[in-house]
Amino acid sequence: MYKCDYSFCLLGLEAEAADAIKAVEPLEWFTHRFVAADKAKDVDEADISGADVVIFKEAAGLRPLEARRLAGDKGVCILCRDDASELTSQELAAVDGVWPERLAPDTAELLFSRLMRDIKLKKDAWLWEMELQAVIDTSMDLIWFKGRYGEHWRVNDAFCQIVEKTKEDIRGKQHYYIWGLTPEEYAAGEFVCLETEQDVKEAGRTCRYREHVKGPEGMREMITLKTPLYDNGEFIGTVGVAKDITKEMAYRKKLMNQAQTDELTGLLNRRYFFLKMGKMVQREVLSLCYMDLDFFKELNDRFGHKAGDDALIGFSDLLAEHFEKDVVARLGGDEFVVGICGNPDKKKLQHRLDRFMEDVHGFFSQTEEFRGLSVSIGVVVGESAGTPVDVLLHQGDIAMYEAKKGGKNRYCFYSSDMYDMDV
């Protein structure tokens, strides 16, 4: 995955020890290059300063501080000395390890093999760190790692973008700071996900949630996966992955609204009215008001469809206002229906319809084009649950035409006598 061409400078080591070190097989992804000499002066300074590892004795003419200066901060300096007690603290800090001054071949091989394993472990850890960060930053989902007390230790770019903070600013911080919550919101536990964090800890496994989180851009809706992390059985934190579905849900809601509502008026459409009322009629008594505008065709013929659309929109607004708790739909053209749950008191329903028709008359009277319009209404008061919706609509239609025959601009309650006459 990676390639490390490591260079070594061996200064003052016994020939057998140096040969034993050179004979060590490089670990995976590593190659070795050696420069060896009895004295530091016998080696170009560039060979020492360019080495990844310098193993030396002071007898070679190189002191710890000088070795560190030549090797640089990234180089590894190993001093071969039996007694390190005489070294100053600065000299001890300058070296990465102290080996015996006289190295037997077996000891040299063992210590060098351990050194290379340690170097490879650090390199592997670096690689894993780089790969992990690259993977999580590539993800469009939010990813985070939290400590046992809820502090965030690692997040990805997508997380930073949505909270509008940098990784450095987020590190070690709590949810309320990262997401910009007020102290009152945090104290109340709103939009903090504290309960789910505790659930994951108690469950001891990956859990899936649908959560609402308040952020800089307002409420966000998330689908989250949270997994507990352990160290030798001890809980140390969680890792979380969240898919922000805010826009997706808004788009889905828009599509659903388009499928369920009439595009012009915003009321329910015919299809969804039948679907919704069909479910309700199975368990409830339903009543309805079937409405048809009077002289609407004449309005369209004389003033055009734009005037007709404006009349429909204004009439629909009045319907939604007067029957806000009921099921209101446009069946098509200038036909509308209001579905009412239960068997309403006839006098109260008459009072509602009277006020509605007064407002309809007032609205149509305001505009010259609309002054000839009115509404005829057929009212069906349900008697028992289970009556099919199309039967109720048919009865409403009969009563509505009875209102039209009676002079229009009125409402009429359905009765079985009307049905017999219709037949």
Residues with catalytic function: 334
Strands of 335-341's sheet in order across? 327-332, 335-341, 286-294, 374-380, 411-413
User: Residue 416: CB partners within 8 Å, gap ≥ 6?
Assistant: none
φ, ψ of residue 155 in degrees (nearest 5)? -140, 165
> Which residues, 6 or more positions from 12, have their beta carbon under 8 angstroms from its beta carbon?
38, 39, 40, 56, 57, 58, 59, 60, 62, 80
Q: d(Cα 44, Cα 50) in Å, to the nearest integer? A: 10
CB atoms near residue 241 (< 10 Å) = 18
* Burial of 113 per CB tally in 10 Å (0-12, 13-18, 19+): middle
> Is 206 within 8 Å of 180 (Cβ atoms)?
no
How far is the CA of 144 from the CAs of 158, 160, 228, 383, in angstroms? 10, 10, 12, 59
Strand order in the sheet with 152-155: 152-155, 142-147, 234-244, 218-231, 207-215
Q: Quote the tokens at residue 312.
A: 């429909």
